[in-house]
Amino acid sequence: MHPFEGMYSFLKSYQLVIVSGAKDPISQSKISSDKYAHKEMYYYLINDEINKLKLNKKGIVKVFGKENFTIVKKYAKKQKLSFRDEKDVIHIFTYYNSQLK
């Protein structure tokens, strides 16, 4: 048995994307140059399977399931955690994993 069987891990990756510069609406010529921007992408790992995660309430429900989400929701409300904040989601994952032991 894998030592982390059934435990959830929160993962983050970065992607470099090109953001197009602004165009003049009349002449359609570029007024500013293209820029590079960092895009953060979130994932969760369970049982050696990586899945994409959106940082919102619906995304967290998808991770833990409706049955376990009530536990997570109570904890988040008590601790005043947001499902959109990365640090708060890390706290939620840590709490949930501690409940599995």
pLDDT higher than threshold 80 for residue 101: no
The pLDDT assigned to 2 comes to 38
pLDDT higher than threshold 50 for residue 21: yes
Q: Is residue 2 part of a domain?
A: no
Q: Is residue 82 part of a domain?
A: yes
Domain that holds residue 84: 9-100
Q: Is residue 1 part of a domain?
A: no
Q: Is residue 3 part of a domain?
A: no
Buried b (16+ CB within 10 A) or exposed e, 52-89: ebeeeeebbebbbeeeebeebbeebeeeebebeeeebb
Q: Is residue 79 part of a domain?
A: yes
Q: Helix 57-79 and helix 86-100: axis angle, to 10°?
A: 80
At 1, the pLDDT band (50, 70, 90 cuts) reads very low
The pLDDT assigned to 53 comes to 94
Q: Is residue 4 part of a domain?
A: no
pLDDT higher than threshold 50 for residue 96: yes
Q: What is the pLDDT of residues 49-73, one digit of tens each?
A: 899 999 999 999 999 888 888 989 9
Number of domains observed in the structure of the chain: 1
pLDDT higher than threshold 80 for residue 97: yes
